[in-house]
Amino acid sequence: MEKDLSSYRKSYQKGALLIKDTPSAPMELFKRWFNEADRILPEKENNAMALTTIGLDGYPKSRIVLLKKITEEGFIFFTNYNSDKGKSIDKTANVCLSFFWQELERQIIIKGKAEKVAPNISDDYFKSRPIGSQLGALVSNQSEVIKNRGELEDKLQELETIYKNKKIERPKHWGGFIVRPIEIEFWQGRPNRLHDRIQYQLQANKSWIKNRLSP
């Protein structure tokens, strides 16, 4: 079935991004934009981001994950290390993160290298999760083929009984990754498709250079 989308049009005119108004380091601008998204769009899941990895089959693959911590070193999310994305990162650490806040007409695109966080960071976050989410990490062999949903629900019910009134330890195959950025691009929609694009690139001395890119 064909569907012609060529008539879809939207004029972007909610903001501007001038290089003279940007800080010397990108994390300051990231936090500013993220805080604005949280303030203006409190009902949205503003920490949702697309994570793109290079799969074991050589193809790029993107999926939505949740950013859980922002540090000066990078961006932290949590997952099953045995999942498709976990195995992909283990083989190829180069990844991309993308945020899109449609209502603000803004994107942020981050290229970087992913690595596992220290075990104590994963332990602390796992303890903060609701019990159901903790058990979910035990139930799911993420990305593996299963017969049906009943298989998951039966296993969850079994574990609820086993761990009733017991502390749930973080499974070793579950934890965090930090993406340490080497390039961050901030994109602000503008009229006539002449969007503002400011790109930061990390230098060998750990400083950043920034440039305006043509839309």
CA nearest to 102, candidates 18, 168, 189: 189
Type of residue at 4: D
DSSP letter, residue 6: T
User: Is 193 part of the annotated catalytic residue set?
Assistant: yes
**Based on the number of CB atoms within 10 Å of its own CB, is 108 exposed (0-12), middle (13-18) or buried (19 or more)?**
buried
Q: Distance between CA atoms of 168 and 116, rounded to whole angstroms?
A: 21
Q: Cα–Cα distance between 179 and 97 in angstroms, integer? A: 8
Tokens of 72: 């000066």
* 42, 45, 46, 48 alpha-carbon torsion, rounded to 10°: 180
- The two structure tokens encoding residue 153: 């629900």
- State both tokens at 110: 């981050």
> Look-up: residue for tokens 């991309």?
96
Exactly one of 9, 39, 149, 193 is catalytic; name it: 193
In a 10 Å sphere around its CB, with 0-12 CB exposed, 13-18 middle and 19+ buried, how is residue 141 labelled?
middle
Q: Is 60 helix (H, G, I), strand (E, B) or coil?
A: strand
Kindly list the catalytic residues: 193
